[in-house]
A and B are shown apart, each in its own frame.
Chain A
Amino acid sequence: MKFDHLLAIEDLNKEQLVHLIDNSKKLIEVSERDIKKVPALRGRTIINLFMEASTRTRSSFELAGKRLSADVINVSGDSTSVKKGETLLDTARTLNQMCPDILVVRHKSSGAAHFLANHLEGVSVINAGDGMHEHPTQGLLDCLSLKCKLEETGKSIEGLTLAIVGDVRHSRVARSNIWAHKLLGNKVRLIGPRTLVPNNFVKNCFGNDDFISTHTSLEEGLEGADVVMCIRLQLERQSEFFIPSLQEYTNEYFVTEKLISELAPSALLMTPGPINRGVEVESALIDGPRSLMKNQVKMGIATRMAVMLSLISSGENNEDIN
């Protein structure tokens, strides 16, 4: 199995997805050691190019690289020459002259990571979130969190029903998760107002496959779900134009413990990325026993380590070394 870049979960096949999740799981242990470092990527260089605000993703990539012994450089949007009018490609080309092995890119434009992967030579690109397109490492870490939690009770991550509530339209996290769960053979229900969960968009994006369905009723969508994933209203991406008011959204789509215990009593709750407490989800639910939020950061580091490892390969063949 070979990876050149990690740009989208959509590009992966099931074998690759499972390989990355399984490797991530085994790498959790490294972060629990006294000496949290292994020499796997010694002498390699990783550049984090973050053209958009991020705390957890950027620090998670940085720590993942460092725990693998790579040298990590962080470049963030407001400190680059893009501010002076340089194009993204020129900035990236300049950075690429420093011969990094991996370039991690976060950008507000969908397709930015693909664009750089196509135009830069000799470097593997990891998409750390591109506009409204995908955030593949987030999708992978959500799968890892879910797998670890389900395995505690002897359950599998396959054959589930996942209910995604909220601003799916603008969410790269939702998109990455949907592709991952499609590969895993799970059913996905998208719940929200038509403006945020448009029927035609779902069909255009994911095809007329019956693994996915849309629901305007929260109750209908939640019923019998195994996992409930709440997606933040992306106020910075003008979600307010898509709903009459925040209050109205909350009236219709606020996820509470009471609702879940009635409709999907065994469901787990996932809140990938930041969340507006009290807008999308009841605060107590986020901190409650159903929630998988607690281990997200640890899972995130392990996931990014697994992705980085998978990208470091050359053209030679594996030999029997014993």
Chain B
Amino acid sequence: MSKEYKTVPANWNTVVDSETFSRSISRISYEILERDRKIDKLAIVGIKTGGEFLAKRIHKKIAEIEKKEIPFGVIDITLYRDDLGHVDESPVIKGTDLPFRMSGSRIILVDDVFYTGRTVRAALDALSDFGRPSSVELAVLVDRGHRELPIRADYVGKNLPTEKEQFVRCRMEEFGYKDSVYLIDKK
């Protein structure tokens, strides 16, 4: 019996299907553990909102592999954005929750789409307000290029060459969609 998923518009081209999606999460999880076998300081932090559920998947996968729970948190970068006050909208605050000791932790920051790097810059600032992690690494599902800051990812699900005018969207089962990444051409 197949599950019913919400559909996406016809002009959204699948660039990562659900099988590749889950393989990427597994591979990233193994790579994180491979880089440092000691996991007593490891903590996973998702950047809201795109990275939150991706981070949960990685967190779950690592717990399965290691048979041990590791700390998990979410970070909202709204208050750290460099374009606050440059947009016409009242910002929507999504909330930060980091229920573990930041100082001395090895933080894996997780986001879905890696683009200009400005979100990650803001997230790094936000993290440092909670303490001094011993290291911060970045895991992303898709790297679409066009960086505007000197920031790189440590773990990448898929490198996706894009035009600046295109959009990249990640959809997940947690929201009723099939796990996929889409590339959308601007009309």
Interface on A for B, CB 8 Å cutoff? 1-3, 19, 22-23, 25-27, 29-30, 33-35, 37-41, 44, 68, 306, 309-310, 312-322
Contacts and interface: CB of A to CB of B under 8 A. Distances in A.
B119 interface: yes
Given A2-B90, A40-B80, A322-B168, 7 more contacts: A23-B90, A34-B130, A313-B90, A321-B83, A321-B119, A322-B113, A322-B144
A309 B79 CA distance: 9
Contacts of B26: none
Interface stretch (B15-23, B30-38, B92-100): B92-100
B85 A313 contact: yes
Contact of A321 (B91, B97, B116, B126): B116
A38 B80 contact: yes
Contacts of A23: 90-93
A41 B84 CA distance: 8
Given A26-B95, A39-B79, A321 B89 contact: no
Give 9 nearest A-B pairs by CB, closest first.
Answer: A322-B115, A310-B90, A26-B95, A38-B79, A26-B93, A318-B87, A40-B79, A23-B93, A312-B85
Interface string B66-84: 0000000000101111011
B114 interface: yes
Contact of B86 (A22, A26, A37, A316): A316
Contacts of B81: 40, 321
Contacts of A322: 50, 111, 113-116, 118-119, 144, 168
Contacts of A41: 84-85
Contacts of B144: 322
Contacts of B114: 322
Contacts of A30: 79
B119 A1 contact: no
B11 to A, nearest CB: 17
Nearest to B94: A26
25 contacts: A2-B89, A2-B90, A19-B90, A23-B90, A26-B94, A27-B93, A29-B95, A29-B97, A33-B130, A34-B130, A35-B129, A39-B125, A40-B79, A310-B90, A310-B91, A313-B87, A313-B89, A313-B90, A314-B85, A317-B88, A318-B88, A319-B83, A320-B167, A321-B118, A321-B119
Tell me which of B114, B129, B167, B168 has the highest count of chain A C-beta atoms within 10 A of its own C-beta: B129
B17 to A, nearest CB: 21
Nearest to B91: A309
A316 B87 contact: yes
Contacts of B88: 2, 313-318
A44 B90 CA distance: 16
Contact of B89 (A1, A27, A35): A1
Contact of A29 (B50, B96, B111, B125): B96
Tell me which of B76, B89, B92, B97 has the highest count of chain A C-beta atoms within 10 A of its own C-beta: B89
A14 B91 CA distance: 17
Interface string B116-137: 1011000001100111000000
B156 to A, nearest CB: 14
Contacts of B93: 22-23, 26-27, 306, 309
A173 to B, nearest CB: 24
A303 to B, nearest CB: 12
A126 to B, nearest CB: 14
Contacts of B167: 320
Contacts of A33: 129-130
